[in-house]
Structure 1
Amino acid sequence: MDIKQLKFLIALDQTRHFGQAAALCHITQPTLSMRLRNLEDELDLVLVKRGQRFEGFTEAGERILAWARTLLAAHDGLQAEAASCRGQVVGSLRLGTVPLASFNPMHLLLPLREKYPELHFQLSSHSTEQIMDGLSRNQLDLGICYLDQVNANFFEVIELGTTTMGLLFDTQHFQFDVDSLRWDALGDIPLGLLSKGMHYRQSLDLSLRSRGLAPNAVLESDSTFQLIQAINAGVCCAIMPLGCGLEGLSEHMRIIPIAEASILSPVGLLLRRSEPRSAIAEQCFDEARALFGRD
């Protein structure tokens, strides 16, 4: 067994396709299939369900896949640790973020990129619960999430502030000649909302219900990108975080603050306390503390 076989297994999980996994690993599909069969022979287990195409992993395959992720993360951490001992910060920082918050992750990535030009970034969008789980399983290095569910005994935390909200709209389709809006002014405005169950949506619904308001929801989606598309097309406006940079995506985008509109739970940057922690995660967390810490 070697690291490459584990990388091949993880690539197959990422792509769910033998040919695409082979291309991702820069090898031929027959080579990928042969190396995975060699791994199965060595473990005396069937890991992959095979037919005319990839059909998923067996129960044993799913369990081995979890270990493969852990071992590969440890391997990458070892490489990063060795580079750190040489005074370098190289490799990939795996950062998970909640979909919408007033903190723009580019405010962290840009200074890190400028200071460590050999550092690469893997960004992914998750719920707060998924971010904490990913950190605990060493599938993420750092996480940006809401802090109301975070146990500080398990995570180091840098508070990044409270998420305040405004109405995002496209000036080609809507005009508002005010500097700020009251909640009760939103009743007749067609809105695009994140799907129910998401933390941001739950906080938004609570704010509306507490004021006896029902939104004129013409569209719901679990994708911020799709909401932006709908705004750009004039289908709706959307209640979005201030300071997250969405209004900069188009010259026609504007955002007006909504009075007394904020999510009660602050947003923070998390690093798990338990070892092993990668040198990259620790170094980047220290840089974030210098940038955003309030001590």
Structure 2
Amino acid sequence: MDIKQLKFLIALDETRHFGQAAARCHITQPTLSMRLRNLEQELGLELVQRGQRFEGFSEDGKRILAWARTVMAAHDGLYAEAAACRGQLVGTLRLGVVPLAGFDPMRLVKQFAEAHPGLRFELFSLSSEQILERLSSNQIDLGLSYVEHLDRQHYQSLELAESRMGLLYDQRYFQLPNQPLNWEDLAELPLGLLSSGMHFRQSIDHNLRSRGITPVPRLETDAVHQLLQAVSAGTCCAVIPLNSGLNDFTENLTLTPIEDAHTLAPLGLIMRGLGQRSALAQACFDQAKILLLNEK
């Protein structure tokens, strides 16, 4: 067994396709299949369910896959730790972010990139539940998510900011007063909202319903870029966090604060608990602390 076989196994899980997994690993598909069969023979287990195409992992395969992720995380952590001992920070920082976070993740990425030119970044749009799941399984290093009900024994968090809300609209299609709005002002507007059940949407619904307003959105989506496209097309207005950075994409977008509007839970940067975190995650977490301290 070698580390590449585990890398191939993880790539297959993430792509769910033999050809795509092979392309990601820069090898041919027959080579990937042969190396995975060699791994199965060495372990004496069938890991991958095969038909004419990839059909999933066996129950044994799912258990081995979890170990493969742990081993790969330790492997990557070893190199990152060695670089940290040399005063360097290298590798790939994997950051999970909830949709419409009330803190612009690019502020963190920009600071990390400027301080450590050798870093690469992978960003994932995930629900708050998915962020905790991927943190616990070493699939991401840090999460930008809500910190309510966070298990402080297994996770450490840095509260970033209270997520206040505003109304985003395109001034070519809507003329609204350039002053704070109230929730009642939104009742007659065509609203575009994230899909029902998403955390930020729950906060919007709570604010509206607590004032006797039942939201009837013109458009619902689980993708932030589609929401921005709809606003730019004049299809709707959208309630978004004030400090998300999303209102800066075009000069026609205007973001007006809504009075007494905030999310149900504070937003924070989350990391695995002591003994489970990588040197990379710890360094970036500490740097985020400095960023916030300098802004106070």
Determine whether 1:128 maps to 2:132. Answer: no
How far 1:103 moved relative to its partner?
0.6
Q: Is the 8 A contact 1:181 1:259 kept in 2?
A: yes
Tell me which residue corresponds to 1:59. Answer: 59
Q: Secondary structure at the match of 2:67?
A: helix
Corresponding letter in the other structure for 1:87: G
> What displacement does 1:168 show?
0.8
2:159 is paired with a residue whose SS is: strand
Q: Is this contact kept in 2: 1:98–1:144, CA < 8 A?
A: yes
Q: Is the 8 A contact 1:180 1:258 kept in 2?
A: yes
Structure 1 residues not aligned, in runs of 5+? none
Q: Within 1, Cα distance between the matches of 2:250 and 2:51?
A: 46
Counterpart residue number, 1:275? 275
Mean Cα deviation higher: 112-121 or 221-230: 221-230
The amino acid across from 2:40 in the alignment is E
Tell me, in whole angstroms, the C-alpha distance in 1 between the residues paired with 2:137 and 2:50: 28
What SS class does the counterpart of residue 172 from structure 2 fall into? coil
In structure 2, the partner of 1:13 is 13
Matches within 5 A, 1:1-295: 1-293=1-293
Matched residue of 1:269: which SS?
Answer: strand
Work out the percentage of aligned pairs sharing the same amino acid: 58
Give CA deviations for 1:174-201 in whole Å, capped at 9, x if unaligned.
Answer: 2213322111011110111111111111
Q: CA deviation at 1:276?
A: 3.0
Per the TM alignment, residue 293 of structure 1 is displaced from its structure 2 partner at its CA by 4.1
8 Å contact from structure 1 (residues 155, 273) kept in 2: yes
Instruction: Give 1:105 shift.
Output: 0.8
State the Cα distance separating 1:154 from its structure 2 match.
Answer: 2.6
TM-score (norm 2): 0.95
Deviation readout 1:101-157 (Å, 9 max, x if unpaired)? 221011111111001000111111222222223222222211111121213333222
Distance 1:276 1:246 in 2: 33
* Cα drift, residue 10 of structure 1: 1.0
- Give the aligned length: 295
Deviates more, 1:125-134 or 1:76-85: 125-134
Cα distance in 2 for residues equivalent to 1:198 and 1:293: 30
Q: Do the aligned partners of 1:190 and 1:218 also contact (CA within 8 Å) in 2?
A: yes
Q: Secondary structure, in 3 states, of the residue corresponding to 1:109?
A: helix
SS in 1 for 2:217: strand
Question: Secondary structure of 2:265's partner?
Answer: coil
* Aligned-partner residue type, residue 140 of structure 1: I
User: 2:275 is paired with a residue of what secondary structure?
Assistant: coil
Distance between the aligned counterparts of 2:89 and 2:234, measured in 1?
A: 45
Q: Distance in 1 between the 2:70 and 2:153 partners?
A: 22
Amino acid at match of 1:38: N
Cα pair 1:6 1:72 within 8 Å, conserved: yes
Distance 2:29 2:59 in 1: 23
Tell me the amino acid that sits aligned with residue 291 of structure 2.
L
In 2, the alpha carbon distance for the partners of 1:286 and 1:193 equals: 34
Conservation of the 8 A alpha-carbon contact between 2:101 and 2:144: no
Q: Distance in 2 between matches of 1:253 and 1:63?
A: 48
SS in structure 2 at match of 1:217: coil
What letter matches 1:154 in structure 2?
H
**Segments of 4+ moved more than 3 angstroms:** none
Deviation of residue 258 (structure 1)? Answer: 0.8
Deviation at 1:225, TM superposition (A): 1.4
Q: 1:192, 1:217 within 8 Å by CA — same for their partners in 2? A: yes
Q: What is the alpha-carbon distance in structure 1 between the residues aligned to residue 166 and residue 123 of structure 2?
A: 25
CA contact (8 A) 2:102 2:163 kept: yes
Aligned residue identity for 1:107? R
Please, which runs of 5 or more residues in structure 2 have no aligned partner? none
User: Match for 2:51: what amino acid?
Assistant: G
Q: Distance in 2 between matches of 1:67 and 1:272?
A: 17
**Farther off after superposition, 16-25 or 172-181:** 172-181
Q: 1:84 to 1:75 in 2, by over 3 A?
A: same
SS state at 1:40 partner:
helix
Q: Residue 152 of structure 2: SS of its match in structure 1?
A: coil
